[in-house]
Structure 1
Amino acid sequence: MNAVATPALRLHGYAVSNYFNIAHAALLESGAAFEIVECRASQTPAFLDISPMGKIPVLETPDGWIAETVAILGYIEDYCVHTRPATAFQRARQLQLINVVQLYIELPMRSLYPGVFMGGENSAAAIAAVRQTLDRSTAALRQLAQPQPYLAGEEAGHVDLFAFYCLDLAERVSRHVYQRSLLHELGLSEWAQRMAQRPSSQQVLGAFAEVFGSYLAEKQAAYPFPAEDLYAQPASASARSIRG
């Protein structure tokens, strides 16, 4: 009997992480053979050897290790001959959108994770500061994000995957802290529902749901479980643009 070949790509991480989920979805969309190796972020010397910041995801390739999600997406585009935006301008515009999502929505919302997902508390000052940043970043993203029907155009691209999984957790935090639906404010509710129905999303969101509840219980988090299904139907009126 022939031995089963080990996939050339192995993605290391944990399905609670939106960045891991971005990379996982990109690999699924690419059609490449790969393997998932479950692990959490770590500051051990061994893990820092493969991920210098000790973060997940980390992609193991035939040539070595790649950390940082944007770098992993670039590798997947090249390695898997993924369809890239046609022009340099289109590629730059999509990177611009990724930067806005990451730096001005995902990162500020991440500062509120302790009081939502991790059993801690968020100060009134932190909540107010993030609200102020959101007011600016949602205005910017409304200008940049124009689904046609995807952010990348007629077909979903890596910019869609990046925005979808970052906004997934940001939406949960925003509803919990501010009773405010970012997806509705951004005009992205239909786009998010369309993204959630993709086969890759069904697999990735399913893996997320399997571990999210135990993670929240482990952290004694304030966020309720079972968690709200963000994509079952349009956001309710009580969650639309209400600023606490």
Structure 2
Amino acid sequence: MALHGYPVSNYFNAARAALIEKGAAFTIVPTRAAQDEAFLAHSAMGKIPYLRTGQGCIAETVAILEYIEEVVPGVPLYPTGAFARARARQIINIVQLYVETPLRSLYPGAFMGGVNAPETIAAVRPVVDRGMRALSQLVTPAPFLLGGQLTYADIFAFYHFDLGERAMRFTYGASLVDAVPGLHDWFDIMAARPSTRTVLADFHPAFAAYLRDKGAAWLEPELKETTHA
């Protein structure tokens, strides 16, 4: 298998971490998103990541995670039992739809050298707060989001929170991980995993270079030393 993408992408990083956690044999092909016909033949929406397999290419990170679980042996990354698996998928959906997607609207002002409109800033916060309140009802980190087993919910949430935390701090002077009891410790546990260290070792220099190229307002590397807008 070959994972195509770019280490600034939180979606690429989640897929890469999942492959590492499963012990999969794979290569990385540095790839940027595109809309030309050749690229669309591999990723129908022109997005990264996509996973090249012996049967063809799969895009969309959640679909990639499902495929990995089906075809790669090793430790399961979904819990046993239909209800617990559904809960993991519910958490993934909430993180994507109600946390990551609205926060992405703030990336131009934080990371891309642009300016976020006041109405955008005002609209995003209540959606994210609602999403985090929902997560606080569904997870009790002990040490992982669903208890003692690492799942795709942890992997997916970590990489979206890692980038989203920056946007929250820059825009609102607030923290995602403060919103859910136990999430700070969970975040530290996830950050210490060997898979995370491998992925972030590529993310940090790539993201710093991206910010410089864009003339971004957000400054790396230390969240706590950044001045909020």
Normalised TM-score (structure 1)? 0.89
Partner of residue 28, structure 2:
36
**Which ranges of structure 1 fall in alignment gaps of 5 or more residues?**
1-8, 230-234
Partner of residue 80, structure 2:
86
- Confirm or deny: 8 A CA contact 2:139 2:146 kept in the other structure: no
Q: Which amino acid aligns with 2:146?
A: A
User: Which one of the candidate residues 163, 167, 179 is aligned to 1:173?
Assistant: 167
Residue 155 of structure 1: how far off its partner (Å): 2.2
- 149-158 vs 35-44, which deviates more? 149-158
Question: Quick check: 1:47 aligned with 2:29?
Answer: no
1:179-219 per-residue CA deviation (whole Å, 9 max, x = no partner) reads 00110122211100000000000000111012111111111
Partner of residue 199, structure 1:
194
SS at match of 1:54: coil
Question: Quick check: 1:18 aligned with 2:1?
Answer: no
Question: Quick check: 1:71 aligned with 2:63?
Answer: yes
Give the alignment's Cα RMSD to 1 decimal: 1.8
1:39-77 per-residue CA deviation (whole Å, 9 max, x = no partner) reads 111111111110011000000011110000000000111
- Confirm or deny: 8 A CA contact 2:109 2:217 kept in the other structure: yes
SS at match of 1:201: helix
Q: Distance in 2 between matches of 1:44 and 1:153?
A: 44
- Confirm or deny: 8 A CA contact 2:88 2:151 kept in the other structure: no
- 82-91 vs 174-183, which deviates more? 82-91
User: Which one of the candidate residues 178, 181, 192 is aligned to 1:184?
Assistant: 178
Residue 139 of structure 1: how far off its partner (Å): 1.0
Q: Distance in 2 between matches of 1:155 and 1:198?
A: 13
Counterparts of 1:1-244 in structure 2, within 5 Å, are 9-81=1-73, 82-83=75-76, 84-187=78-181, 188-225=183-220, 227-228=221-222
Q: Distance in 1 between matches of 2:135 and 2:106?
A: 20
SS at match of 1:183: coil
Q: Distance in 1 between matches of 2:180 and 2:36?
A: 40
Percent identity for Structure 1 against Structure 2: 52
Count residues with an aligned counterpart: 226
4+ aligned runs moved over 2 Å, structure 1:
none
SS at match of 1:11: strand
SS at match of 1:21: helix
Residue 152 of structure 1: how far off its partner (Å): 3.5
**Which ranges of structure 2 fall in alignment gaps of 5 or more residues?**
none
Q: Distance in 2 between matches of 1:206 and 1:22?
A: 14
Normalised TM-score (structure 2)? 0.94
Residue 128 of structure 1: how far off its partner (Å): 0.6
